[in-house]
Structure 1
């Protein structure tokens, strides 16, 4: 048997793929970095999760108004959101999964929690 990463001879279990933890880790890292599109998806998902967490933390009751700068200082990235919701009045809510925000006048933000739709 030979190591899939470095080609060194291996002994021991028949189902072993790598000769050491270093070769296993190196192979995993190479696999991760091969696909640039996959890497971009991972980065965007990380930002979206962070945005959702910040909205959740700043609005535990489900509806809160605060200054935009508070979110920005906490690391919120307004460029990333999962979907938009436009009201009949013309307001646009930006959502990060189930938490959203509406940009208000005076650099304020209204944070809301989307309520699950209940069919009767």
Structure 2
């Protein structure tokens, strides 16, 4: 009586080895996991938002290498900045609201201008 070999859950190739083995190679196992992960809508959405946040931070960093700069809002928009996505909000005692993309923040000023700042980490 001949045993029927199990097939790889990802590619379908017959598997040899342990009886509880599900994939023929580590590559097939990784590919199966990655395809399951990308099928999840919430996971895809998180990746898209994280990409926007990284892009926003990169634009702020390039626009303000010294840590503090004022420029027109249109400059950021033309570079692809998305004002709808930020990682945190800081409100000052005077009522100003800074929006941060990780360690770079911006304050919307009158006349379509933006103040870009680098978050100061205080050691205490």
Q: TM-score range by the shorter chain?
A: 0.7 to 0.9
1:111 corresponds to 2:111: no
| Superposed CA offset, 1:17-55 (max 9, x none) | 247x7x668635531233211111111111111101110
User: Larger C-alpha radius of gyration, 1 or 2?
Assistant: 2
Counterpart of 1:102 (choices 100, 107, 111) is 107
Compute the TM-score of the two structures, normalised by the length of structure 2: 0.80
- Structure 2 unmatched runs, 5+: 1-5
In 1, the alpha carbon distance for the partners of 2:105 and 2:32 equals 39
**Does the 8 A contact of 2:14 with 2:24 survive in 1?**
no
Structure 1 residues not aligned, in runs of 5+: none
Query: C-alpha root-mean-square deviation of aligned residues, in Å?
Result: 2.4
Distance 2:23 2:64 in 1: 48
Aligned residues: 117
